[in-house]
Amino acid sequence: MSFNKALLVAAFLISIVAYFQMNMNTKETITNDLSTEILFTKAEYKLFNSEPKKKIPRKILVPIQDGDQMINVNEILYCVAANNRVQIHTETTHQPIETTTKFSLTKMKNKIGSADFLYHELRKYIINFNSIDKIIRIPQANQKHYKYKIIMESNDTLPLPVDKKDGFMNVLYDYIDNY
């Protein structure tokens, strides 16, 4: 290696080290409950003060006609809002579990919490990304517009509104990239 190349590599490595020292050793001021200020480096702060993710319940309890039903959140394929009730399709049941009246999709979303694998931005559906088989595009009569359908692994078909498709696909790609 020539002297110029070696000098260039050394300068590059020095600039990388300087960048990390500058960013990781900057002092952060945090006030604790006793109103005393504590100084941390960014590295220490990230190491000791990482906020835990909101815990996702393993099971939820939903009201049904005969009482209450325990459902494993990971087994939910999708949920459908219909007539002030929610139909919950799961891996383990052949028929959907139907909740009692006045149990809305919003209440279902609140019970489930923020599970990344469940998409709940559609008006009538909660969909488990892990149970999607494919998303198809169906051309309309004029060939310029399309309808979109979500085909689940159970072969059930759910509509995907055109105005929600881009948002849905962005969240799906983010989920797949971070999975």
Asked if 122 and 94 count as a contact pair (C-beta separation under 8 A), the reply is: no
Q: Which tokens sit at 141?
A: 């009569």
Q: What is the pLDDT of residue 139?
A: 87
Q: Among residues 68, 87, 67, 63, which one has the least CA distance to residue 77?
A: 87
Q: What is the pLDDT of residues 4-16, one digit of tens each?
A: 777 777 777 777 6
Q: Go through the domains of the chain in sequence order and give each one's CATH number.
A: 3-48 (no CATH), 59-178 (2.40.50.40)
Binned at pLDDT 50, 70 and 90, residue 157 comes out as: very high
CA dist., res. 90 & res. 97, Å (int) = 8
Q: What is the pLDDT of residue 28?
A: 46
Mean pLDDT of the chain: 78
Asked if 152 and 131 count as a contact pair (C-beta separation under 8 A), the reply is: yes
3-state secondary structure 29-92: EEECCCCCEEEEEHHHHHHHCCCCCCCCCCEEEEEECCEEEEEEHHHEEEEEEECCEEEEEECC
Q: What is the pLDDT of residue 86?
A: 93
Question: pTM of the predicted model, to two decimals?
Answer: 0.64
Q: What is the pLDDT of residues 59-116, one digit of tens each?
A: 889 999 999 999 998 899 999 998 889 999 999 888 999 998 788 888 888 888 877 7
